[in-house]
Amino acid sequence: MPPLPPITQALLLINVAVFCLDEVFGHLLSVYFALWPFDSGRFMPWQVISYAFLHGSFSHIFFNMMGLWMFGAELERIWGGRRYLSFLAASVLTAAACQLLMSALGGWINPTVGASGGLFGLLLAYAMVFPTRTIMPLFPPIPMKARTFVALYGGLELFLGVTGTASGVAHFAHLGGMLGGWLMIRYWRGQPPFSSGRNRGGGWRA
């Protein structure tokens, strides 16, 4: 395996460090830095970013960081650090916006934590950049094209979110991350809903 690019490596280290601190302090960080709904009385503006560095359990951070390593590292090598960070920020922010909206509509007051919104944005980007690349997901362990995997996973998240299955999982934040990633790539390409005829990527097209 090639060495991890710097931004992905830094994100992995920061997430693990924050997780360890949160465990040491009895999840006190979540009180201030998780994404709380507007009606909870605990919402603060910085939470739309800080929630992505918190995780609720070891399995939660393990699978998120594994996805960041699997999909994010290669995208960073292609895009470069600045573009990679911009893409992640867009995915995380859009995931937060969708979760806040659904919390307001559904009357939910539980906080949201995890890097999954950014990760789902990376999944979408990976499928757009490498649509025919064969990957082997853990669940199910069946080889499939990247675009097929992401389409199935996105459809499953939508179904689970609409039906309320697997409560405790922020399905709409995941979908919001995919939406933010899709919009960012459309912006770079100069495609609708953004102005057409201009490639903002300096020659790169996903």
What confidence tens digit (pLDDT) does each residue in 13-64 have? 999 999 999 999 988 999 999 999 999 999 999 999 999 999 999 999 999 9
Tokens of 13: 């280290």
pTM exceeding the 0.85 threshold for the entire prediction = yes
Tokens of 46: 């910085």
> What are 175-190's pLDDT values in tens digits?
999 999 999 999 998 8
Q: Cα dihedral sign for 36, 38, 39, 44?
A: positive
In terms of Cα–Cα distance, which of 124, 101, 115 is closest to 49?
A: 115
Task: Specify the pLDDT at position 203.
Answer: 38
Q: How far apart are CA 30 and CA 12, in angstroms?
A: 19
Which range is least confidently modeled, 32-36, 78-82, 165-169?
165-169
In terms of Cα–Cα distance, which of 177, 1, 145 is closest to 73?
A: 1
In the chain, where are the structural domains located? 6-189
Task: Specify the pLDDT at position 101.
Answer: 95
CA 134 to chain CA centroid, Å, is: 21
Q: How far apart are CA 84 and CA 75, in angstroms?
A: 7
What is the chain's alpha carbon radius of gyration, rounded to the nearest angstrom? 17
Judge whether residue 197 has pLDDT over 60: no
Task: Specify the pLDDT at position 198.
Answer: 52
CA atoms within 13 A on the CB side of 104: 9
> What are 105-153's pLDDT values in tens digits?
988 889 999 999 999 999 999 999 999 999 887 777 888 999 999 999 8
The CATH number of the domain covering residues in 6-189:
1.20.1540.10
Q: How far apart are CA 83 and CA 165, in angstroms?
A: 35
Terminal Cα distance for the chain, rounded: 23
Q: Give counts: helices (H), strands (E), the chain.
A: 9, 2
How far is CA 176 from each of CA 19, 89, 132, 201, rounded to the nearest angstrom?
A: 23, 12, 24, 23
Confidence of residue 6 (pLDDT cuts 50, 70, 90): very high
